Amino acid sequence: MKNRIKIERAECDITQQQLAEAVGVSRQTIVAIERGHFLPSTPLALKIARYFRKPVEDIFILEEND
């Protein structure tokens, strides 16, 4: 699964730490999600999408081999 978190953060000019605090996780969790090393839970994915005011499908992209 791909994600656009890093791009969305850049567009909003926020740090990994700021996003982490806003959605209630550690900065390391955001790093792992951005790198594709960790898949967020459904509630966390929804919180991240809500933070950016976008549908979850605009942040997380399911690839054919997923």
pLDDT at residue 41 greater than cutoff 90: yes
What percent of the chain is modeled with pLDDT above 90?
94
Sketch out the chain's domains with CATH numbers: 2-54 (1.10.260.40)
16 is written with which tokens?
């990994």
Please give the Cα distance from 24 to 11 (Å, whole number): 21
Contact 19, 26 (CB under 8 A): no
What percent of the chain is modeled with pLDDT above 70?
100
- Which residue has 């996780």 as its token pair? 25
